[in-house]
């Protein structure tokens, strides 16, 4: 089998998405998600100008060699743009292999390690009351795991909260990022009170998660982790900036709250020390930004040695193709932990066809060959890309802080 053509589809059904479509001489095509929120065109151009020309003529079954060809072979390594492009190609190759053999991808990765996959969703409110209502809504929908984010008294805008009550979309259309502001002390004073109320309101069995979005120093994170211990979180995510790996040692010594990190990592080298030193409990890298299914299997194997589980990043700013790839991966590995799932806009689902079933907080896999996804290419064309940026974040005195 040979790859005869590949194209990049940039479209915006509900929001911006970048997709690679790889076509073979046997009439089978594969799809891969290449969306990197706020930097979409960098990945699209890298694919079009540099990677696709080298793909033509290759056998899609040689996915391991193709991966190394684009990783080692280009000399320049790592980085979100590079790894997202490689990840999209790898995903599409596995999709082709599954379709060619008429099996779902998970069967090629190790088969069924579980019958269903637990997902967590997001509940967010502008204040404590609204947040509790939102958690109740998600519980009523059947979710057993809910990420809780809330507006903080005295702070105007905050990560994860939509001001207009619509679903949260952090990338704002425009020529420049909007600016948000932040006050760590107000946040740290409020979050334990919020979780105390949430735990008091809901059963002990409800899994609660929280994302600090890289905004704390190690000692601030240690305080938060410690103060949240009585409320028994499933995980506390991205407390300190993820590149500050030394900080995790300090944090880990202070708290038994489980820690999750990895949504901005893109290679095994970003998490190798965190895993081998047992400084985290969940690795949150995702298929699209982590370089594809091929390297993610290796990361899961390394993590499995240390009883660290996966919790793949799965926001609505990655397409349903990435979600499908995460589900195949999560089905096949032993150390699946949980899958993030925020749902998608209706427009998104009109373009992306997704065959896996979701009910009461759990996914079950369809038996469709490949990744079990497809795209309406004609409809996609109707929704044109518009430049959008993630916000930047400043402390109240104007100092630039992590968003």
Using CB under 6 A, pick the residue from 90, 211, 270, 281 that binds ligand CS2.
Answer: 211
Interacting partner of 328 out of ligand CS2, Mg ion, none (Cβ under 5 to 8 A depending on kind): none
Q: Is 317 in the site for ligand CS2 (CB under 6 A)?
A: yes
Active-site residue identified among 29, 159, 282, 344:
159
Shortest Cβ 170–ligand CS2 spacing (Å): 6
The region of 58-66, 94-102, 309-317, 348-356 touching ligand CS2 under the rule CB under 6 A is: 309-317
For residue 213, indicate whether it is catalytic. Answer: yes
The region of 78-86, 220-228, 272-280, 312-320 touching ligand CS2 under the rule CB under 6 A is: 312-320
Q: Is 211 in the site for Mg ion (CB under 5 A)?
A: yes
Active-site residue identified among 106, 187, 210, 213:
213
- Of residues 14-43, those binding ligand CS2 (CB under 6 A): 37
Instruction: Give the nearer residue to ligand CS2 in terms of CB position, either 46 or 235.
Output: 235
Q: Is 170 in the site for ligand CS2 (CB under 6 A)?
A: yes
**Contacting residues for 144 by C-beta, under 8 A, at least 6 apart:** 118, 205, 206, 207, 361
Q: Is 340 in the site for Mg ion (CB under 5 A)?
A: no
Rounded Cα distance between 294 and 329, Å, is: 10
Rounded Cα distance between 164 and 277, Å, is: 43
The residues that touch Mg ion, with contacts defined as CB under 5 A, are: 211, 263
| Positions marked catalytic | 159, 213
The residues that touch ligand CS2, with contacts defined as CB under 6 A, are: 37, 170, 211, 213, 263, 313, 315, 317, 340, 390
């Amino acid at each position: 089998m040979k790859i005869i053509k590949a194209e990049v589809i940039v479209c915006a059904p509900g929001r911006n998405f970048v997709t690679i479509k790889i076509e073979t001489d046997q009439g089978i095509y594969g799809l891969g998600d290449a969306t990197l929120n706020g930097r979409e065109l960098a990945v699209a151009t890298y694919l079009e100008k540099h990677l696709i020309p080298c793909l033509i003529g290759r056998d899609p079954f040689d996915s391991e060699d193709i991966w190394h060809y684009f990783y080692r072979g280009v000399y320049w390594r790592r980085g979100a743009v590079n790894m997202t492009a490689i990840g999209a190609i790898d995903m599409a190759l596995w999709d082709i292999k599954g379709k060619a053999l008429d099996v779902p991808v998970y069967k090629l990765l190790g088969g069924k390690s579980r019958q269903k996959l637990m997902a967590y969703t997001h509940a967010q409110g502008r204040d404590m009351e609204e947040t509790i209502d939102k958690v109740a809504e998600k519980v009523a929908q059947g979710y057993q795991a809910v990420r809780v984010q809330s507006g903080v008294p005295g702070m105007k805008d905050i990560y994860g909260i939509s001001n207009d009550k619509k679903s949260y979309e952090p990338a704002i259309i425009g020529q420049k990022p909007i600016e948000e502001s932040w006050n760590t002390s107000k946040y740290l004073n409020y979050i334990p009170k919020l979780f105390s109320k949430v735990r008091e309101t809901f059963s002990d069995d409800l899994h609660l998660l929280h994302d600090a979005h890289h905004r704390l120093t190690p000692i601030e994170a240690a305080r938060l982790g410690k103060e949240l211990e009585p409320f028994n979180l499933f995980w506390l995510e991205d407390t300190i900036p993820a590149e500050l790996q030394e900080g995790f040692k300090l944090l880990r010594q202070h708290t038994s709250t489980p820690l999750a990190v990895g949504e901005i990592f893109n290679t095994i080298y970003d998490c190798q020390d965190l895993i081998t030193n047992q400084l985290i409990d969940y690795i949150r890298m995702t298929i699209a930004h982590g370089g594809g299914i091929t390297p993610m299997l290796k990361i899961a194997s390394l993590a499995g040695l240390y009883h660290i589980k996966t919790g793949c990043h799965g926001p609505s700013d990655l397409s349903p193709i990435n979600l499908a790839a995460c589900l195949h991966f999560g089905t096949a590995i032993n150390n699946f932990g949980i899958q993030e799932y925020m749902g998608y806009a209706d427009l998104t689902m009109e373009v992306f066809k997704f065959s896996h079933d979701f009910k009461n907080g759990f996914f079950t896999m369809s038996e469709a060959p490949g990744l079990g996804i497809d795209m309406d290419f004609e409809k996609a064309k109707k929704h044109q890309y518009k430049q959008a940026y993630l916000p930047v974040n400043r402390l109240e005195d104007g100092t630039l802080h992590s968003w």
